[in-house]
Amino acid sequence: MAGGIVAILRGRPAHPVGPDGRMAVSDHLRELRARLIRSALVFGVLFVVALFYYHDLFHVIARPYDEARQGHENTMATTSGVTGGFVLYMKVCGWAAVFVSSPYWISQIWGFVTPGLHKKERRWTQAFVAVAAPLFLGGVALGYWTLPIALHGLIGLNPSGVTNLVDFNVYLTFFTRTLLVFGLALELPIFVVLLNFAGVLSAKAFRHAWRWIVVGTFTGAAIVAPSPDPFTMTILATVMCVLFLIAGAITHVNDKRKAAKAPNFGLDPDEPSKLDLTGERPQV
């Protein structure tokens, strides 16, 4: 039985793999099942570990709210219902396990998708992963930094004499959504670079649309920002505009590199290109 469990976790193909790397559909499903099970096991182990560090994790999550409530005596955190504390316990540990295990399950997704990509596409995606991970973490850190300021403004809208009861389960959803929005928003400029490297978007078209990009960035930041305060929206939009500027510079350099490799590079538009009229086939 132990051997069967090990075989399931390995997910090795039961049929011979073709010379071009092709596998049977059943083997693809077997591999997918193995990767999902391994990811679930890693998540489960980290979830159990997080149970022992619940109070430390709780203080990290509650810190933005604790900073924001300074100077506001008419607000307090609560949990609703008999099971409110238990649900909060599970949510905090679950989100912690998802975040800490993300390098592993992302690598499992990468390992499943990679065999279906060409060599050039693999290089692009490897570069994307190398840049996307730090940008996502930077966005999460930026969201965590701006969260107390946003919460302070929102709590301050409560009129005098009215107590603001904050359900911590609802606050946890607000907290995670804020960090995810900031993290994912900073990934958008990378897609601009990928589209350029794939030949879909040119640097010239990107430069012509820069006004719409700025307007769209600020509009999108106003829509997706979890809090309606202008500070959070402005910070998010400004950082994204800077990253779009860097992406535009990268697309410009890449287009110049492609143009330098073109066969007619350096020729005047009215100058005829050289034609081979000998009829001889070039030697390969």
Determine the pLDDT at residue 8: 60
Residue segments in the chain with a per-residue pLDDT below the cut of 70: 1-28, 114-122, 124-125, 225-229, 262-284
Cα 254 from Cα 190, distance rounded (Å): 14
Record the pTM. Answer: 0.71
Kindly give the interhelix angle for 54-68 and 25-52, rounded to the nearest 10 degrees. 70
Determine the pLDDT at residue 62: 92
User: What is the SS3 assignment for 181?
Assistant: helix
Residue appearing with tokens 């005829």:
272
- What is the per-residue pLDDT across 181-237, written as a single tens digit (0 to 9) for each? 888 888 888 878 877 877 777 888 888 888 888 888 888 877 776 666 677 778 888
Determine the pLDDT at residue 58: 93
Closest CA to 186 of 142, 155, 148: 142
Domain ranges of the chain: 54-186
Cα 66 from Cα 145, distance rounded (Å): 13
164 has which bridge partners? 75
For the range 53-62, what are the long-range contacts, defined as Cβ-Cβ under 8 Å and sequence gap of 24 or more?
53/96, 54/89, 54/92, 54/93, 57/92, 57/93, 57/96, 58/92, 61/92, 61/172, 61/175, 62/168
Closest CA to 98 of 127, 57, 55: 57
Identity of residue 202: S
Q: Are 98 and 176 in contact (CB under 8 A)?
A: no
Determine the pLDDT at residue 49: 95
Determine the pLDDT at residue 284: 46
